[in-house]
Structure 1
Amino acid sequence: MVIGVDLGATNIHAGLVDEEGRISGEVVRGYDCTSKHDVIEVLLDVLSSLKDKARSVKKSVKKIGLVCPGPVDIDNGLLINATNLPGWGVVPIRDMISDATGMDVHLDNDAVGAVLAEAWVGKARGLNTFMAVTLGTGVGTGVVLDGKVFRGGRRKGTEWGHLIMSNKGLYRCACGNDGCIETMCSATALVRLAQKKGLNVLSAKDVCKAAADKDIIALEVMDEFSYNLARALYNYSLVLGPEIIVICGGLSASHELFLPGVRKYFTGLFSGKEYMMPPMGIEMSRFPDNAGIIGAAYLCMEDRRIGL
């Protein structure tokens, strides 16, 4: 048994994970990400509580898998200027946690965690080239190419959520650029789009509730959001040629409001070149809230099908 931790922009999501990818003792802890030192203290408290839970069922835990918003230097254990953790800079987070707990810590990007979860026990099990797209505060992308996590030539990962898709996004991206996919297809973008069209909403949940209640403007927002996401996934498909694209992250819990539109527009963009479409299409994760925990745990497993 290992501990899997998904360190997000607004909360820590962690749990005990066994060799079959099953989670127990799940913990969710919110925080203000302004102070990295305060967040590390919260994380250490969560880890301590999970170790206690493991002991209570007579299980030993010796490894921690940790996934964070990228970029991540997995070779040196560094979290590097994460866009959605402003002001953190470069943090030697692997060694900080290892030194404090006395446990082995395996670190990676959160979207890589999502794609590993799908490879291990999810929709991409048995496949060799695929990607996971996480829709939350930002847009994360985890890519497996020919059975191995694709990290780019510098092994610092890839940030496909910051590919520029428009001359002007719904807001200026935290990375400093304008028109990033993240500013068109994230939960944050959904809220900004709804506000731009006059809806009085504060969160993606508000927008989704209005759409579920058949509010006309909210439905228009969902349709435009679906088109934007379909264009992003179309571009990803042309670059990677994946067997499947799996959607993960908090927004995927409301997939019934946007997935039909995404599939419709996505198919339309491939008109006349259907042979280039992912053969298994676009699917939703089996665990929209837990993929990060499961993928983080997979980093600790010795018998891995997917190369890191």
Structure 2
Amino acid sequence: MTEVLGPAGPSAGVPSSRAAVLDAIRAAGTISRVELTAATGLTGATVSTTVRRLIEDGLVQETGLAESTGGKRRVLLELVPTSRHAVGVHLDGTDVTYALVNLDGAVVARLRRTSPVGDPETVVHAMAETVRGLVDSAGARWENVLGLGVVSPGPLSRGSRLVLTGPAMGGWADFPLGRRLGEATGLPVVLDNDATAAAVGEHWTGGAGGSSAFAALYLATGIGAGAVLDGVPLRGVSSNAGEVGHVCVEVDGPECWCGSRGCVEALGGPRAVVAAAEAAGFDLGGTDRPVSVRFAALARAALAGDAVAANLLHRSARYVAVAAQTLAQVLDVDRLVLTGPAMALAGSVYLPAVRERLAASSIARHAHDVEVVISSAAAEAAAIGAAALVLQGELVSRAGGVRIAVR
């Protein structure tokens, strides 16, 4: 359940034909009206009418002619990327990351503010000012901003809209974040968790590689995952699908903040890696520093050749590979994107471990391979994905995305 709050939701009142046509153009890059008819299943008349209105609204433009196939050359269509924008915000325990993307999903501007997330009302006021400044600095028109996507570590709750539980942001539980931000910015606000957003962002920007069933494994201070199947994000009854960090791999293992024992996250997540390093006497700058900063220090040491740091990361990678295996087998995906700030730092350690495990133990390995890659925007994947959630509300029909060859 993605909550859409504010003056009007991004998908409010969007006809399905409009959404289907827009999504097909987005997915193809350039496409003719005839190809749109085949891709969407709409009638030629409906496609023509819809395209004409989209051109009038400035969302779509004609761009040259297709190669000749013997008859009259077809006129190609494409999105007008600068016609609309969306803002994404990733709210974590110590960092707030902002991304402004255009209609095509390309990042126009980005910003990261490192500061403790304290009083919610104060943070909301600062976020609203920063969002306005980001839009203005990029030269985008405020009236063409479709909305604001805000994501954070889960889990989510129906009752309180967004519950930032977990170790980092428990003080935000029950705070009406969407409503407050909607009031402060005047924009529609979409709320979701960061791992799901990261998966939607990969789907939107081409990281899915044309796969109809792919997942994103998200590594920040915890471990999560999102999946997109046939263009539709997998959410579950409460939008908490994909919590592979809380798969139990050791029944009598250490306690996890979720209430269970022996979770992948409790044994191999960045927080656990940092704790193990400090217990072994590794100096990461002091326990008062954020986990993300201390993990970054450990990753740099490992990549520089420190044996202790490298062993700790390799141990973590084995647990993360189990989470990846679980995700791939339960969902039967053929592409897995490794993403998140921790992957941006140490993906070269985690990638081989995940690939090796999936190649050896994926239950469907004889039917298909699982391609494993690192996101090209791993550090800011959640913020970009948050903006993509807004775009998806505008461009993708509620029945799901249009399956079409990736450009």
Q: TM-score range by the shorter chain?
A: 0.7 to 0.9
Q: Count residues in correspondence.
A: 303
1:100 corresponds in structure 2 to 184
Give a deviation string over 1:140-178, Cα, whole Å, max 9, x none. 211223432111134454533222222355x63222322
Contact in 2 for aligned 1:32/1:39 (Cα 8 Å):
no
1:260 aligns with 2:348: no
Equivalent AA in structure 2 for residue 175 of structure 1: C
**Closer, same or farther in 2 for the Cα pair 1:307/1:9, shift >3 Å?**
farther
Question: How well do the aligned residues superpose, as a CA RMSD in angstroms?
Answer: 2.6
1:214 corresponds in structure 2 to 305
Identical amino acids, percent of aligned pairs: 29
2:203 is matched with which residue: 103, 119, 142?
A: 119
1:5 aligns with 2:89: yes
> Structure 1: which 5+ runs fail to align?
none
1:145 aligns with 2:229: yes
**Closer, same or farther in 2 for the Cα pair 1:247/1:17, shift >3 Å?**
same
> Structure 2: which 5+ runs fail to align?
1-84, 286-293, 402-407
Give a deviation string over 1:184-219, Cα, whole Å, max 9, x none. 332212212333444333511222122122222222
Contact in 2 for aligned 1:5/1:66 (Cα 8 Å):
yes
Contact in 2 for aligned 1:139/1:186 (Cα 8 Å):
yes
Give a deviation string over 1:65-85, Cα, whole Å, max 9, x none. 222222235x78811252231
1:165 is matched with which residue: 242, 246, 249?
A: 249
Matches of 1:234 and 1:158 in 2, distance apart?
13
Contact in 2 for aligned 1:131/1:143 (Cα 8 Å):
yes
Alpha-carbon distance, 1:304 to partner? 2.6
Alpha-carbon distance, 1:250 to partner? 0.8
Aligned partner of residue 91 in structure 1, secondary structure: coil
Contact in 2 for aligned 1:144/1:150 (Cα 8 Å):
yes
2:173 corresponds in structure 1 to 89
**Closer, same or farther in 2 for the Cα pair 1:112/1:155, shift >3 Å?**
closer
Alpha-carbon distance, 1:246 to partner? 0.8
2:385 corresponds in structure 1 to 295
Aligned partner of residue 337 in structure 2, secondary structure: strand
Matches of 2:356 and 2:117 in 1, distance apart?
37
1:177 corresponds in structure 2 to 260
Equivalent AA in structure 1 for residue 264 of structure 2: I
* Structure number with larger C-alpha Rg: 2
2:129 corresponds in structure 1 to 45
Question: Which shifted more, 133-142 or 21-30?
Answer: 21-30
Matches of 1:212 and 1:81 in 2, distance apart?
32
Contact in 2 for aligned 1:247/1:285 (Cα 8 Å):
yes
2:289 corresponds in structure 1 to none
Equivalent AA in structure 1 for residue 175 of structure 2: V
Give a deviation string over 1:41-87, Cα, whole Å, max 9, x none. 33223223223325x455642421222222235x7881125223112
Matches of 2:259 and 2:364 in 1, distance apart?
35
**Closer, same or farther in 2 for the Cα pair 1:275/1:39, shift >3 Å?**
farther
1:201-280 pair list within 5 angstroms: 201-202=284-285, 203-253=294-344, 254-270=346-362, 274-275=365-366, 279-280=369-370
Aligned partner of residue 79 in structure 1, secondary structure: coil
Matches of 1:269 and 1:280 in 2, distance apart?
11
Contact in 1 for aligned 2:332/2:364 (Cα 8 Å):
no
TM-score calculated relative to the size of structure 1: 0.87
TM-score calculated relative to the size of structure 2: 0.67
